[in-house]
Each structure stands twice: as C-alpha cells, then as structure tokens.
Structure 1
Amino acid sequence: MIKAGIIGGAGYTAGELLRLLINHPEVEVAFVHSTSNAGAPVSDVHEGLVGETDLTFASDYDLSACDVLFLCQGHGFSRKFWEENEMPAGLKVVDLAQDYRDESDGYVYGLPEVKRDAVKACTRLANPGCFATAIQLALLPLAAAGKLDGEVHVTGITGSTGAGVKPGSTTHFSWRNNNMSVYKAFEHQHLKEIKQTLSALQGGKEPEISFIPVRGDFARGIFVMADITTDMSIEEAVKLYKDFYADAAFTHVSDRPVDLKQVVNTNKCVISLEKHGNKLLILSAIDNLLKGASGQAVQNMNLMFGLPEKTGLALKPSAF
C-alpha cells in the first residue's frame, strides 16, 4: 500500500483529496495535518466523510512515515515548508499550490495530457491550477499543430469553491447567489503556467491570450469558452482534437455541446467544438476541485507509482 500524508488538511481540496484517497484501493492515509484542527476527527470538518473514516487531524507529522506527501496549503506555503523541513530520500511530493509550477527545484508540471512520461519519472510534481487546466486542455491541440498563431479570446466561469474554504466578501452566499462578476481581467495568475505549456508546444512562441475570469453563482465547476480565427473546417478541427486526445484517460471530445453537469464530481474534462464563420469556438468544462485540483493530483500520483491512471477515480457526474 502507498502511504500518503497530507499537509493542510482542512480546505476544500484536502477534503476532496481525502475522499479519493480513503477509497483508493492502493493507498493508506498515514496522517492528515492541520494546525487549527489538531485532535479533531476529520469528519468534523469534512462532514461528507462521516462513517467513512476514523482519521483525526494530527498536530505533528513524520515525513518518513509516508511514500507520497500532498501539500494542500495556500500559495507561497510550499517553499516555506521546505525551508523548514528536510525532504526524506525517496519521498514523492505532489504540490497543489502554484509555488513550483515554473518547474523550478526539480519539479515537473503535472498536466498528464502533455507530460505523462515526465510525470511517471518524477519525484516532485507541481499540480496545475484549475483555470489553467481547463484552458490548456481547450488549446493544447491547436498549439501542438502550430495553429495558435492569433489572439485567443477566453472567458471562464468558476464556482465559489475556487476561492477556497476561508469566507470572503465575494464567496458569501447572499452576495454570490444570483450574481456574477469579473475579476482579475487579463491578469489572472494562471496565465503564466498556461503560456509556459503552450509556448513549449509551439517552439517557444508565446500565444496571445485575452482571458476574462468570471465568478459564477454555483459552488463547483469551471466552464471555459475560447475562440480563435482560423480557416480550419469544423471536420478538420474535430479530427485534430480527437486524434490529440485519443489516448487521454480523462479528456474527451464530445460531438454534442458540453455542459457543466457532465463533469461535476468527476476527474473528466469534456470539450466540444463549434465553427461560426471563420471563428472556432472551443468549450471546455471541468470540476475545479477534481480535474482542477485533487482528482488530477491523484491521477498524477497513480502515474508516479506506476498504477493505472484511472485507479480510484471512477466517479459519476452529478448530472441531476
């Protein structure tokens, strides 16, 4: 059994990660660390796990007691964590923050659709961001084919869980419900990792991406709408995407329009394409907490330990 440790166990991503790991046939959870909840049952915080685990939050941790460590704290925490802790030989690390997404310090950027072989061989993995995952999966085939040569317009709508478990003025129910708003227009932090991947696929040429993120009035999921100008026919575009994702475990190109409920509670990304005049519209949907965070982290862990990619990730969408 793979022994897993979790640092920062009280947030949304840690809760989803625990749900996956305690039901994973090859994993045993060694510890779940949380300073603020030390000694409390995990199910007191993650109430959906009532009856599924007797784990309690640990006040301390022994990194040598686990084979893989998941870092689920906020951005900036991971670098500080490794300044204060020594990494045991042989430990594999999956970092869900953005600290190492630039692939510094020996980390591999873990987007399996383009980095599968590198993920299999690595010991330090930087898990992609949620918007970054949805947008990259929408654009990877175009970049790989050298067809991402003009401005790309992207609008992405995210659920309130994307802002984390700590309450804020823009996550409060009475404000978020029946409401929408734009934030970080053209300046979202995930643009850096998006351009990093797409540039590498097209010989170092950085794509021009105009991205407008939107806060949605729902709890979870990301729905991305991207368009480019192209002379490709819809038949050519669909073939390009289906060929590119033919071997992808969780990314699927649908012949029908995608909607959010097809992916919520799954590790899937579902993509659909439309052609309007000279515009190609790419729709991409994921669950921000699963394919955009914890599900992808488990997918990467499976690859790192030589397990089938889908192990522990057979999840049914919340379609109704």
Structure 2
Amino acid sequence: MIKVGIIGAEKPEAGELLRILINHPEVEITTLYSPSYNGRQVSSCHHGFLGESIVEFSDKIDPSELDTVFIADESEIGENVMRMSEDYPDLRIIDMSAPRFEHMDAHGMEYGLSEANRKSLVRGARLAVVPSPAAAVALTALNPLALAGMIESDIDIDIALPHQAANAVDIQSLSKEIKFMLSKSHPDFDSQLRINIIPSDIGRAIRVRMLLRSPLATDEVDRVFESVYDDHSFVATSHSDIGNREVEGTNKCVVTINKPGAGLLELQGIGDVYLRGGAATAAHIMNLFFALDEKVGLKLKNSCFGMEDSHSDSQFSWFA
C-alpha cells in the first residue's frame, strides 16, 4: 500500500483529493497535517466523511514514514519537505498548492500533466507540480498540434470558469505556464497567447476556447490527436458541443474540434475545474510515479444526472 500524507489537509483541494484517495485500492491515508484542526475529525471540515474510517487531522508529519506527500497549501512545512526531499530518496512529493508552476525550477520538479509530460513522470521522477486547471485543459488541446509543429499563428484563448476560480487566475503566470510546455513540445514555438478570463455561473466546469489560424481540416486534426492520445485514458474528442455534466466529477478532458471559418481552427476543451488540474490530476501523477495503471482509483463518473437532464440542457454559451 502507498502510505499517503497531505499537508494543508483542511484546504478544499485536499478535500477533493481525499474523496478520491479514500476509494483508491492502493492507498493508505496515514497523515492529514493541519495544525489548526489538530485532533478533529475530517467530517468537521470536509463534507461526505461522516461515518468513514479515516485518520484525524494532526499537527505532526514524518516524511520518513510516508511514500507520498501531497502539498495543498503554501505553509512553511511544505517548503521544508520539498527542500529536504534528498533526505528521503523513496518519498514522492506532489505539489498541488498555488502558485505551483513557479516551484518547478526552485525544487527540480516535473510538470505533472500526463498528456504533455508522461515519459518524465514514469521514468524515475519523484517530485511534480500539478498544472493549473486552465493550463491543464488548454495544453491538452494544443499540445498535439505543437508536437507536430502545426501551430503557426497567435492564439486567442477564452477561459470560462466559476467566479472564485476566475478571481485566482494570474494571466501572466498562466501564459508563461502554457508557453513553457508548448515550447518543450516544439522548441520553435513562438506564438503569442491572448488570454481572456470569463467568470461564469458554470458549476464545476472549466471551458477553454482556443482560436488560431490553420489550413488543417478537421479530419487532419483528428488524426493528429489520435496519434498522440491513442494510449491516454482521460482525453476524448468531439465535433459537437459537450455539456458540462459530461466531465463534472471526472478526470476527463473533452476537446471539441471545429472549423468556424476558412483558414480558422477552433478547439474547445472542457474539464472539471477542481479535478482536472487539481485533485484527480494529483492522484494521476501518483499512479504514474508508482507504475500503477493510470486509471486506478480514477474511474470517476458524474453521479448527479437527473431524469430531466438532456445533453443540451447543460450547454454553455460564450455569448450569454
């Protein structure tokens, strides 16, 4: 069993992670570090845990007794664990705090988006940062074209996400994060990104619409995506609009491919803002670190569909 500790276990991100890990067949949750909640039950902070057998919050954590530490806040103890990682050669550290991307160089961490960086994650990496939700969705859509050297224009990016999540987005940092990985996929990438954040009443979803100039037909784009993602479990493509509930509560990212006009290509990625580039991505990284099937513990499905729901009911309009 993988012995797991979470630093900042009282944070909402940690609650999302706990709801995944409590059902993970290879995980034993042993430490929930939160001095402010020391001695209290998890249900005092996170809903859905009444009656569950799970350790209490604690003000102590010993990395030598753990296989994986998830860092969900910016506390000094998290920084100390990352700085001392060489003292624990068997310990894996996954940083899901914010800001995350800025921690990579300081601590020699890998970028934790499997769809763009899986080889690095499975070949002996021990430290990784969870991508931001917007970058995770945008890169899932753009990276296949970058790998093929097929991005030759600037990109307009509209990002719709819940109000609270939108308020936390730093556009300059997000642009840097996306460009970093696209340049890693294709060293000659030099396109400009024009990013627009749209706070929306959109439930748990994040929708990223990318518009660029491209002569490619949709079937050509389909083939590029198939060649890159044929063995990836959490990416799907479509040519029709996808409702939010198709991805809410899951680790999936669905990319819609369209040609809105001559010489234009529109990609629209959709995911769960709290799981994609959040808790589910963090668990996905752990699976790769320990050479598990990437789907273990992550066969998540939205269980909130109602009889009145239809595919079109949950559509998002960019013009609403």
Q: Give the TM interval when normalised to the shorter protein.
A: 0.7 to 0.9
Structure 2 CA distance for partners of 1:217 and 1:189, relative to 1, 3 Å: same
Contact 1:101 1:109 in 2 (8 A): no
| Count of residues in Structure 1 that have an aligned counterpart in Structure 2 | 301
Partner of 2:107: 105
Partner of 2:129: 126
Contact 2:152 2:213 in 1 (8 A): no
Contact 1:268 1:286 in 2 (8 A): yes
The counterpart of 1:144, out of the listed 132, 144, 147, is: 147
Partner of 1:210: 194
**How far 1:208 sits from its partner (Å)?**
1.1
- Three-state SS of the structure 2 residue aligned to 1:214 is strand
Structure 2: tracts of 5 or more residues without a match: 307-320
Question: Which deviates further from its counterpart, 33-42 or 80-89?
Answer: 80-89
After TM superposition, list the pairs within 5 Å mapping 1:1-320 onto structure 2.
Answer: 1-74=1-74, 78-79=78-79, 82=82, 87-97=87-97, 98=100, 102-120=104-122, 121-160=124-163, 162=165, 187-277=171-261, 278-317=263-302, 318-320=304-306
Deviations 1:153-202 (A, max 9, x none): 00011124637xxxxxx69xxxxxxxxxxx75xx3422211110001111
Contact 1:242 1:253 in 2 (8 A): no
Contact 2:85 2:91 in 1 (8 A): no
**Amino acid of the structure 1 residue aligned with 2:245:** K
Structure 2 CA distance for partners of 1:161 and 1:301, relative to 1, 3 Å: farther
In the aligned structure 2, how far is the partner of 1:219 from the partner of 1:205? 34
Contact 1:103 1:126 in 2 (8 A): no
Structure 2 CA distance for partners of 1:244 and 1:99, relative to 1, 3 Å: closer
Structure 2 CA distance for partners of 1:20 and 1:272, relative to 1, 3 Å: same
Question: In percent, how many aligned pairs have the same letter?
Answer: 31
Deviations 1:10-38 (A, max 9, x none): 11210011111111000000110112211
**How far 1:258 sits from its partner (Å)?**
2.1
TM-score by length of 2: 0.87
In the aligned structure 2, how far is the partner of 1:268 from the partner of 1:75? 30
Structure 1: tracts of 5 or more residues without a match: 164-169, 172-182
**How far 1:81 sits from its partner (Å)?**
5.3
- Three-state SS of the structure 2 residue aligned to 1:190 is helix
- What RMSD over aligned residues (CA atoms) do the two structures have, in Å? 2.3
- Three-state SS of the structure 1 residue aligned to 2:258 is strand
Contact 1:233 1:275 in 2 (8 A): yes
TM-score by length of 1: 0.87
Deviations 1:231-271 (A, max 9, x none): 11122122222322111110111243222211010000011
Contact 1:220 1:264 in 2 (8 A): yes
